[in-house]
């Protein structure tokens, strides 16, 4: 039977959300919190979609039916009713998408342009098509979880977690703005799928490290590969940072404090990363700078990207006999392990050199030169250690 205005008014909340059907796809959704929401389900382009017509006390039954009929006319004309759907001004202002965009505009000043674009793109792709038209105060945890699980279905578990966190911030922003009363994202945390434990990149044990270094120095393959491996090892940077090292990033190579300055865009971080260069790294940079006069890159190659490929250094390690035993990224693990166990350096110096984010140290987000003098001495010690394969590891008890 069709709904009546009195029946809508007297509908009571239950432990779980439930629906009261009207006619032709229109129904009233009653949530456990007591919200009563007009919804219209339909299919377009073989996809199930839902239109939100607002709250029952803002939109009368007759008005909800008018919107349903308008949507059905759009469908009959092969048009998606979600496009150009007319909402009351109050509904538009409190829609999830409107508040999300307000949150994004207020928050993006603390982000890099690239990251701000990335966050908005994720919301536009995964959240707005499903929840964008909904009044932010009407979104219940089960509905949000249903949307987040669409991301999980792509096996993008870390992405699902990040998007859920964005939604949580948006709901909290809406609460502060007086548009919402709860954060349903906080209530679905334990329902998300847990990612598999991260697998550490293969790295030899400290006791085997001197053999790895000896083979690296004696490598008889391409000279550029050998330089790339040694340079990556003694600077403790990631493979990508070595590959795209640009000659104009290096400063003061003939001075007392040579430096490699990596931009926030290169690091995919909010701050730049400064790498103090030991004299062995300076020697490599100068040598390769002379050889690569026709390229802005330190490690040029005739590839699509103009630099050595992602696998160049890895295949070099394979050729040395370290297949499945040592990766290029694992060189950072070797450095971290040996320096931490040496007892000569503060763990914070090592973590900063590895460019690991530390959310508890806000100053690290703004001070790229943190621990720079300490890291300069540390990297010189490390480069000296690497330079001499006879430096057998002796730090572990």
Question: Does the active-site annotation cover 332?
Answer: yes
Q: Of these residues, 162, 286, 329, 333, which one is catalytic?
A: 329
- CA distance linking residue 278 with residue 384, whole number of Å: 9
Nearest to 379 by CA among 235, 252, 262: 235
Looking at residue 137, the DSSP 8-state letter turns out to be: G
Q: Of these residues, 279, 356, 361, 388, which one is catalytic?
A: 356
Question: Does the active-site annotation cover 55?
Answer: no
Question: 156: number of CA atoms within 13 Å, CB side?
Answer: 12
Looking at residue 37, the DSSP 8-state letter turns out to be: E
- CA distance linking residue 35 with residue 13, whole number of Å: 8
Question: Does the active-site annotation cover 268?
Answer: yes
Question: Does the active-site annotation cover 166?
Answer: no
Extract the tokens encoding 263. Answer: 């931009």
Q: Of these residues, 73, 189, 268, 388, which one is catalytic?
A: 268
Q: Of these residues, 243, 332, 375, 376, which one is catalytic?
A: 332
By the 8 A CB rule, do 299 and 307 touch? yes
Cross-strand partners of 246: 297
Q: Of these residues, 93, 122, 238, 374, which one is catalytic?
A: 238
By the 8 A CB rule, do 98 and 87 touch? no
In terms of C-beta density within 10 A (0-12 exposed, 13-18 middle, 19 or more buried), how is residue 120 classed? Answer: middle
Nearest to 290 by CA among 227, 348, 376: 227
Task: Name the CA radius of gyration of the chain, rounded.
Answer: 29
Nearest to 232 by CA among 320, 289, 298, 287: 298
Backbone angles phi, psi at 219, to 5 degrees: -60, 125
- CA distance linking residue 51 with residue 85, whole number of Å: 9
Question: Does the active-site annotation cover 329?
Answer: yes
Long-range contacts of 218-222 (CB under 8 A, 24+ apart): 219/316, 219/319, 219/320, 221/316, 221/319, 222/316
In terms of C-beta density within 10 A (0-12 exposed, 13-18 middle, 19 or more buried), how is residue 211 classed? Answer: middle
Active site residues: 238, 268, 329, 332, 356, 366
């Amino acid at each position: 039977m069709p709904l009546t205005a009195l029946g809508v008014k007297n509908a009571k909340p239950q432990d779980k959300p439930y629906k009261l059907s009207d006619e032709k796809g229109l129904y009233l959704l009653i949530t456990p919190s007591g919200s009563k929401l007009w919804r219209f389900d339909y299919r377009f382009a073989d996809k199930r979609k839902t239109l939100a017509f607002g709250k029952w006390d803002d939109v009368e039954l007759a008005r909800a039916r008018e919107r349903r009929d308008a949507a059905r006319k759009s469908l009959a004309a092969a048009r998606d009713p979600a496009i150009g759907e007319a909402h009351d001004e109050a509904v538009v202002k409190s829609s999830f998408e409107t508040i999300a965009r307000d949150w994004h505009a207020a928050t993006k000043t603390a982000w890099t342009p690239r990251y701000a674009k990335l966050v908005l793109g994720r919301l536009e792709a995964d959240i707005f098509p499903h929840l964008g038209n909904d009044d932010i105060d009407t979104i219940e945890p089960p509905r949000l979880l249903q949307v987040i699980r669409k991301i999980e279905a792509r096996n993008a578990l870390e992405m699902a977690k990040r998007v859920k966190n964005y939604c949580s911030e948006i709901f909290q922003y809406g609460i502060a703005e007086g548009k919402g009363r709860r954060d349903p994202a906080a209530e679905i945390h334990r329902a998300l799928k847990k990612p598999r434990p991260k697998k550490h990149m293969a790295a030899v044990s400290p006791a085997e490290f001197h053999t790895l270094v000896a083979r690296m120095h004696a490598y008889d393959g391409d000279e550029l590969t050998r330089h790339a491996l040694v340079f990556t090892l003694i600077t403790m940077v990631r493979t990508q940072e070595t590959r795209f090292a640009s000659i104009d990033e290096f400063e003061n190579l003939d001075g007392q404090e040579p430096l490699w300055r990596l931009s926030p865009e290169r690091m995919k971080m909010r701050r730049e990363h400064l790498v103090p260069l030991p004299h062995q790294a300076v020697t490599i940079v100068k040598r390769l700078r002379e050889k690569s006069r026709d390229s802005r890159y330190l490690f040029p190659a005739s590839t699509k990207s103009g630099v050595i490929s992602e696998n160049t250094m890895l295949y070099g390690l394979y050729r040395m006999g370290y297949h499945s035993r040592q990766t290029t990224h694992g060189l950072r693990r070797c450095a971290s392990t040996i320096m931490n166990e040496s007892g000569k350096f503060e763990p914070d110096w090592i973590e900063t050199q590895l460019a690991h984010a530390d959310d508890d140290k806000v100053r690290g987000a703004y001070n790229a030169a943190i621990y720079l003098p300490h890291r300069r001495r540390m990297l010189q010690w490390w480069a000296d250690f690497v330079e001499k394969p006879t430096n057998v590891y002796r730090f572990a008890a």
